[in-house]
């Protein structure tokens, strides 16, 4: 079977295994879960490591059940696929209990661009496009970060092409600060809390904190040998649109837009 970005999550014939073997497709890529013959089982069980990541590493206490979507859960866990050679940005999004509810993948990359990312440090000067998908692989938001030289800008759009708003870098030096703009007005901001920009407070137009992004660590060896990053987004209460979509978009672009800038500052 040939998979593509519109294939919903589920069990399919394993393209890499023996006949009668099924492999679980998470909506963005093949997972390690396989099943030999017979009726397809239920989706893989929640990942207990995610619960540990939320409660122990990020220090976020369990909260009430959410609505099961990217826009209705109080906690989103964003884990980047660990790759020794990072040519394509890919993320898996879980709820606080370890159930996968979405994915993010970079789209529109040419072979030349992948080669340039491998042999050079020009990554931040290239245009990046990230597609946020729900648990069934359906596009929810498209994030475009145009090529930049000093300050980053991320354009957030709906699948139909209508623009939600922009995330715009405010400064080049010091603690990184991004504004969230919509319809010509600033509706919020993202504020790095330290020089290396690992943790962020997200505030509304009145400077009240509405959400928080906390970086979590997978272990020293993984951190040393890969550039994979993992974050926990805690939304303090149900937010109105377009602020909600911009906050979700922000959490899913920390690595592509914000962290790459902090490398240049470090």
Examine the domain organization and report whether 15 and 83 are in the same domain.
no
Examine the domain organization and report whether 26 and 128 are in the same domain.
no
Q: What is the CATH number of the domain that holds 109?
A: 2.40.160.200
Number of domains, the chain: 2
- pTM of this structure: 0.70
For the purposes of burial, counting CB atoms within 10 Å of the CB of 59, is it exposed (0-12), middle (13-18) or buried (19 or more)? exposed
**Is the torsion defined by CA of 139, 125, 252, 157 positive or negative?**
negative
Mean pLDDT within 4-20? 71
What are the CA-CA distances from residue 250 to residues 9, 17, 231, 257 (Å)?
24, 38, 11, 9
Examine the domain organization and report whether 19 and 127 are in the same domain.
no
Mean pLDDT within 134-144? 89
8 Å CB contact between 157 and 163 = yes
Examine the domain organization and report whether 39 and 131 are in the same domain.
no
End-to-end CA gap in the chain: 45
Q: How many residues does the chain have?
A: 266
Examine the domain organization and report whether 18 and 122 are in the same domain.
no
Q: Which of 109-118, 156-165, 196-205 has the highest mean pLDDT?
A: 156-165
Question: Which pLDDT belongs to residue 42?
Answer: 64
Question: Which pLDDT belongs to residue 115?
Answer: 46
- Round the average pLDDT of the chain to a whole number and report it: 75
CA 38 – CA 40 distance, rounded (Å): 6
Examine the domain organization and report whether 6 and 127 are in the same domain.
no
pLDDT per residue as tens digits for the range 141-165: 998 887 765 677 889 999 999 999 9
Q: Which residue has the higher pLDDT, 157 or 17?
A: 157
pLDDT tier, 258 (very low <50, low <70, confident <90, very high otherwise) = low
Examine the domain organization and report whether 239 and 120 are in the same domain.
yes
For residue 98, pLDDT over 50 is answered with yes
Examine the domain organization and report whether 20 and 92 are in the same domain.
no
Examine the domain organization and report whether 39 and 64 are in the same domain.
no
pLDDT per residue as tens digits for the range 232-245: 899 998 999 999 99
Mean pLDDT within 11-36? 76
Candidates 54, 43, 99, 91; CA nearest to 72 is 99
When mean pLDDT is compared across 75-79, 163-167, 207-211, the lowest value belongs to: 75-79
Examine the domain organization and report whether 197 and 250 are in the same domain.
yes
pLDDT tier, 195 (very low <50, low <70, confident <90, very high otherwise) = low
Examine the domain organization and report whether 17 and 60 are in the same domain.
no
Examine the domain organization and report whether 176 and 225 are in the same domain.
yes
pLDDT per residue as tens digits for the range 41-64: 666 666 677 777 777 766 777 777
8 Å CB contact between 233 and 78 = yes
What are the backbone dihedrals phi and psi of residue 54, each rounded to the nearest 5 degrees, phi first?
-70, -50
What is the span of the domain harbouring residue 94? 48-265
């Amino acid at each position: 079977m040939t998979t593509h970005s519109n294939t919903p999550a589920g069990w399919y014939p394993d393209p890499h295994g023996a006949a009668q073997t099924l492999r679980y497709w998470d909506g963005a890529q093949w997972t390690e879960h396989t099943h030999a013959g017979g009726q397809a089982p239920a989706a893989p069980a929640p990942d207990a490591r995610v619960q540990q990541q939320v409660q122990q590493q990020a220090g976020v206490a369990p909260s009430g059940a959410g609505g099961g979507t990217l826009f209705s859960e109080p906690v989103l866990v964003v884990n980047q696929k660990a790759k020794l050679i990072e040519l394509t940005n890919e993320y898996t999004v879980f709820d606080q209990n370890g159930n996968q509810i979405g994915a993010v993948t970079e789209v529109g990359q040419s072979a030349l661009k992948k080669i340039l990312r491998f042999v050079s440090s020009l990554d931040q000067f290239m245009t990046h496009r990230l597609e946020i998908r729900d648990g069934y692989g359906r596009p929810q938001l498209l994030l475009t970060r145009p090529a930049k030289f000093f300050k980053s800008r991320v354009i957030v759009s709906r699948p139909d092409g209508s623009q939600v708003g922009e995330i715009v870098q405010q400064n080049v030096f010091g603690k990184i600060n991004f504004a969230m703009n919509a319809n010509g007005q600033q509706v919020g901001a993202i504020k790095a809390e330290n020089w290396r920009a690992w943790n962020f407070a997200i505030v509304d137009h009145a400077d009240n904190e509405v959400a928080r992004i906390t970086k979590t660590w997978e272990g020293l060896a993984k951190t040393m040998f890969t550039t994979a990053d993992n974050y926990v987004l805690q939304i303090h209460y149900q937010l109105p649109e377009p602020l909600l979509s911009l906050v979700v978009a922000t959490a899913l672009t920390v690595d592509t837009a914000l962290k790459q800038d902090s490398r240049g500052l470090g």
